[in-house]
Amino acid sequence: MDCCGHHALTRRHWMWGTVLASLGAMLGASAGRDAAAAQSADDAAAARDVLRRFISVDVHSHGGTTGIISMAAPNDDLATGMRAGSLAVACLADVPDGPVLGRNAAGVLGATRTPGPGELYKYHLNRLAWMDEMVARHGLRRVHTAAELEAAHAAGQPAIVADVEGLDFLERKLERLEEAHQRGVRHVQLVHYTPNDIGDYQTGAVTHDGLTSFGAEAIQACHKLGLVCDVAHATEDTVKQAVKVATKPLLLSHTAIADSKAMGPTPLRGRQVSRDHARAIAETGGSIGIWHFFPSLDKYVDGLKEMVDVVGVDHVSIGTDQQIARGSVQTYDQWAQLVAAMLRGGFTPDEAGKIAGGNYLRIFRSAVG
Ligand SMILES: [Zn+2]
Ligand SMILES: [Zn+2]
């Protein structure tokens, strides 16, 4: 699972990063400032080089403050930000249960009412139409195959993978999954914040003891159609049962390790995952995306390292979840700075390339073709 002892290797890099930071602190103030400026120019150049050599993918996004969950009309903001930060691909997620979501007193999202029959399906179709308009008029291409992903990166054209966060629109009708695929969707998440017939989710009451038999059928349908199967938000039991059913790598697109020191105390604790939960995903050949809810880019990198220390560098990705709440990658023009922070934090260019996109490309190629 942890291919070729990455743990020892990556830990050594972290140590070197610390030594370099201490040396920097020992330099005189003005010399330190000059050195810091030169260093930051070097970091930026190194990050751009990584982003040229390796495809980069935000494995879970809503496209920023004017994105798909906002009330904004389709617009150029996403493509403009991606170009500025050299992000190749965003998995742009429609949120079918959006109309029933709200925050409780602690600021935690949840369903506030039971949706009416067909209500979430109708809203999901409306959001797919919004996505069509983004692709038709606002500088993004939608990719359907691994070859198209790589071609978009090679051409320097920002691309989206059409993604759906929660199969709450299915209402037990798998033909709606097929319809989503026909509409260009290539990535779906099984559960979100609304009780459904698929399985239990982390922030809700346990009602199914994990994955249902319909949930197992939905995973098999994902494999058959060619959809990345994302188990973010699912309980550990649901995930472990999904791992038994899955014959392709699974993605868990946005989370952090349980009790993450890099995040600190957070109302999102119920959405973090245990070490066993993370290892179950890695065992499928999959990857765990780390969201951007950290106080700084350097802390974000610490959050990536926390997960790498558990599952290895081949099983960690970046899934910002922007812009569900403020985080350390507010807009995509910061993407290159995130990669620079990864290099500064001790990741090699190859490791940064895997986390920034290579691991997702592997999963996408296996699931979608
Ligand atoms: Zn989410
Ligand atoms: Zn999300």
Q: Summarize pLDDT for 195-207 with one digit per residue, the tens.
A: 999 999 999 999 9
| Ligand 2 centroid – CA 211 distance (Å) | 21
Q: Could you tell me the two tokens for 201?
A: 């989710």
User: Residue length, the chain?
Assistant: 369
What ligand is nearest to the CA atom of residue 193? Answer: 1
| Ligand 2 centroid – CA 325 distance (Å) | 10
Distance CA 352, CA 337 (A): 12
> 352 with 18: CB under 8 angstroms?
no
| Ligand 2 centroid – CA 7 distance (Å) | 29
CA-wise closest residue to 186 among 210, 211, 159, 213: 159
User: In this predicted structure, what is the pLDDT of residue 30?
Assistant: 72
CATH number at residue 84: 3.20.20.140
Please check the confidence at residue 230 and state whether its pLDDT lies above 50: yes
| Ligand 1 centroid – CA 293 distance (Å) | 12
| Ligand 1 centroid – CA 251 distance (Å) | 13
What ligand is nearest to the CA atom of residue 252? Answer: 1
- Domain extent, residue 344, equals 3-367
Q: Which helix (H) or strand (E) holds 188?
A: strand 185-189
Banded pLDDT at 31 (limits 50, 70, 90): confident
User: In this predicted structure, what is the pLDDT of residue 29?
Assistant: 66
SS3 343: helix
Give tens-digit pLDDT for 123-166.
999 999 999 999 999 999 999 999 999 999 999 999 999 999 99
DSSP output for 276-297 = HHHHHHHHTT-EEEE-S-SSSH
Banded pLDDT at 331 (limits 50, 70, 90): very high
Q: What pTM was estimated for this model as a whole?
A: 0.92
| Mean pLDDT along residues 161-188 | 98
| Ligand 1 centroid – CA 41 distance (Å) | 35
Helix locations, the chain, DSSP H:
6-26, 29-53, 77-85, 119-137, 146-155, 175-182, 213-225, 236-245, 275-283, 297-311, 335-344, 349-353, 359-367
Looking at the structure of the chain, the number of domains it has is 1
User: In this predicted structure, what is the pLDDT of residue 25?
Assistant: 52
| Ligand 1 centroid – CA 201 distance (Å) | 11
CA-wise closest residue to 313 among 11, 27, 79: 11
Please check the confidence at residue 246 and state whether its pLDDT lies above 50: yes
CA-wise closest residue to 88 among 160, 144, 184: 160
